Each structure stands twice: as structure tokens, then as C-alpha cells.
Amino acid sequence: MQNASTVSKFIVDKIKTTPWKKRAYINDLLQLRSWIINGPTGFISGQHYWRFRNKYPQEYLALLQEYSPEKYQLELVRREETLLQNWNRLKEQKAQKQLEAERELEEYEEWLAFGGLAS
């Protein structure tokens, strides 16, 4: 572990609330901090960086805010855009399901009109 004066305030606060048995979490945060500051150094570290970003989204934001305010703002915008895209996709899916249900109801009513059996 690093000297407390060189570690982020966020990580020090996390250390104070994390039991020793869960220290791997702190090590993950330290690694994430290192990648935020220096960037991943290769393909594998890049994969780990993205995995940690997804595994610890709130922690990632807090560290970004502390070490790279510009990237923090960009990340907030990216997340907002992603939420909006997901919301629009869900609305489209719901509308599509509604359309399919209406078509099926029309087909069912036509079926009955031709004397088909109701199930």
C-alpha cells in the first residue's frame, strides 16, 4: 500500500470503512486510480481498466472527479446520453410490443369472425 499522503482522500475514506478481509477492494481502487492518472499500458490492462470501471461505477466517478475533472464532466455527459439512449430504446420496444399486441388482437377478432374457435 502507498503512503496515505499520496493516496486519494476518497480511497483513504474507503479504507476507514473497509475491513481488512475486503482489502482487495481497496487494491482495486488503487489500481483504478493509477489507470485514471497514467492510463492503461497495454491491451490486457485496458481490459482490466474497463472491467473495473464497470464493476465500480460510483468509485470510478469519485476518482475521476478527484484526478481528472475534465474527464469527469465528459463521463457524466456520456452516462446521461447512454441513459437517454436506453430510455428511448425501451420506449421503442414497448411501442413495438403494443403494436404486435394490437395486430394479434385484430387477427384474433378476424379469426373469430370466420368462425374460428376461441381458445
Assigned domain for 74 exists: no
Inside any domain, residue 72: no
Structural domain span for residue 93 = 79-119
Do 55 and 32 sit in the same domain of this protein? yes
Q: Which residues 6+ apart lie within 8 Å of 12 measured at CB?
A: 4
Residue at 73 is within a domain: no
Question: Looking at the domain assignment, is residue 30 inside a domain?
Answer: yes
59 and 90 belong to one structural domain? no
pLDDT of amino acid 118: 87
Residues of the chain short of pLDDT 70, as ranges, are 1-5
Q: So what's the pLDDT on residue 7?
A: 77
CB 26 within 8 A of CB 18: yes
How would you class 67 by CB atoms within 10 Å of its CB: exposed for 0-12, middle for 13-18, buried for 19 or more?
middle
Q: Report DSSP state, residue 70.
A: H
Would you say residue 58 lies in a domain?
yes
Asked, for residue 110, whether it belongs to a domain, the answer is: yes
Structurally, the chain folds into a number of domains equal to: 2
| Global pTM value | 0.68
Condensed to tens digits (0 to 9), the pLDDT of residues 20-52 reads 999 999 999 999 999 999 999 999 999 999 999
- Same domain, yes or no, for 42 and 100? no
pLDDT at 54: 93
**Domain membership flag for residue 54:** yes
Whether residues 60 and 83 share a domain: the answer is no
